[in-house]
Amino acid sequence: MHTIDQDGPARPRQALSRTRHAVPVVLVALVGTTLAGAFAAAVPPGQPYDEPAHWANVLFYLDHGSMPVLGQPGVQYEAQMGPVYYALSAAVLALAGGGHGEASFSLLRAGWLILIPLLAALTYRLALLVGVRRTSAALGTALVVLNPLVLAMSASIQNDVLCIVLGAAGSLLALQAMKKPDGPLRPHAMAGAVLGLAVLTKVFALGLVVGLLVAYAVDWRLTAWHRLGRGLAALAAMAAVSGWWFVRNVILYGDLTGQSGVAAAGYRFPALRFSGAGSVLAWGRSLVSYAYAPTEYFRNAVNAPTWLEAAAVASTGGIVLALLLRWWRSRAAHVRRRPDTRQEPTGYPSAVVFALAATFVVFIGYAVLAWTSQGIAPRLTFVAAPLAAALLAWAAESPAGRAALGAALVVFVVSGVWLARSVAGLPSMPYWIFGAPHG
């Protein structure tokens, strides 16, 4: 006797639905990869900030098979960085036959473009777990993948985008693990291990670890012992992966991150100087510029036109107004005791707490360091960009919010095209990468 599978017709429909919802994300990944490929092909070698120092690290790993030490001949100021990006890049060059020339350089620029579709998929999944609807999740994904700075970084030799992707992967594992209150500790340890790889790529990923610990601490679905166990499992795994690097820095340079070695080698990055409200406004303008038209990443060799600066300011103001409008409506609905259920997150509280805490810790950490210690670039905060975009898409999930984010996306794409064309017209200075400075 034959039986009818009641789930049979539903499964193809579910698969078709998932495929249909994946189409916008695939398109975003394709557009992002294409634009980043244009950057990689057009930008002169060494034009992006720090690219010569990152390239020097890759070649050191390739030639010596070991980590560089600040103060050694030919070693530059990025030598204190963790080894993940450089070791992987050197391995790729070794498999391709090695070499210090333009062919190897171009190979790495093109090869690391694979991170863009990975970043798109991870950001989309993070947004869904935070509680964002699929349309808004795709929009948040586009805001990350098509951001001009992300495109510029993806197309250059640097460790930022790999750190962002590893941080997003670790965050996704953590959110999936936290979704199950009665789940085992192993998934939390796996999340900590992947976040440890992110830290071992760029130390700013520690902000994600702190955000995760905060989310564990306030997860009231669990007993205190369960929360402590999850936190310790993640922290122990992170320490097992990256702890040795901090110990090495203390032994070599006398501090956890090697900044003393950077200073001892003669590299100086002065902190921002407070000189009244004007300095704070200039800093805020720099933050907006990095998000919309990151000319500083290309050594300020080009200047953003007035119309683009105006569009960036207007777009930022539109997003702020949309967020304030949603907050006001939610507050008014709460006062009337008629919550706007359409605006409620479909995820779970710990996911939102994690996104909030990680984004806050990363940004505040950057701000404190920039104003008190050294003038680090705002791009370091992009390690939290996938979580921040998911949070923004959730917070702005209303018609006005989606319109504001859509307008920002248009500005991003226009700015990215303008920036790629402008930087492509700069004269090449190959000595930055392929030889000693002339004269």
Q: Print the SS3 string covering the chain.
A: CCCCCCCCCHHHHHHHHHHHHHHHHHHHHHHHHHHHHHHHHHCCCCCCCCHHHHHHHHHHHHHHCCCCCCCCCCCCHHHHCCCHHHHHHHHHHHHCCCCCCHHHHHHHHHHHHHHHHHHHHHHHHHHHHHCCCHHHHHHHHHHHHCCHHHHHHHCCCCCHHHHHHHHHHHHHHHHHHHCCCCCCCHHHHHHHHHHHHHHHHCHHHHHHHHHHHHHHHCCCCCCHHHHHHHHHHHHHHHHHHHHHHHHHHHHHHCCCCCHHHHHHCCCCCCCCCCCCHHHHHHHHHHHHHHHHCCHHHHCCCCCCCHHHHHHHHHHHHHHHHHHHHHHHHHHHHHHCCCCCHHHCCCCCHHHHHHHHHHHHHHHHHHHHHHHHCCCCCHHHHHHHHHHHHHHHHHHCCCHHHHHHHHHHHHHHHHHHHHHHHHHHCCCCCCHHHHCCCCC
Tens digits of pLDDT across the chain (439 residues)? 444 444 455 555 555 556 666 889 999 999 999 999 999 999 999 999 899 999 999 999 999 999 999 988 878 888 889 999 999 999 999 999 878 899 999 999 999 999 999 999 999 999 999 999 999 999 999 999 999 999 999 999 999 999 999 999 999 999 999 988 888 999 999 999 999 999 999 999 999 999 999 999 998 888 889 999 999 999 999 999 999 999 999 999 999 988 888 887 777 788 888 888 888 888 988 899 999 999 999 999 999 999 999 999 999 999 999 889 888 877 766 566 555 444 444 456 788 999 999 999 999 999 999 999 888 889 999 999 999 999 999 988 888 899 999 999 999 999 999 999 999 988 887 667 876 443 3
Q: Is the pTM of this model over 0.75?
A: yes
Write down the pLDDT at residue 3: 45
How many C-beta neighbours within 10 Å does residue 178 have?
26
Is the CB of residue 376 less than 8 Å from the CB of residue 366?
yes
Count CA atoms closer than 13 A to 335's CA, side-chain side: 6
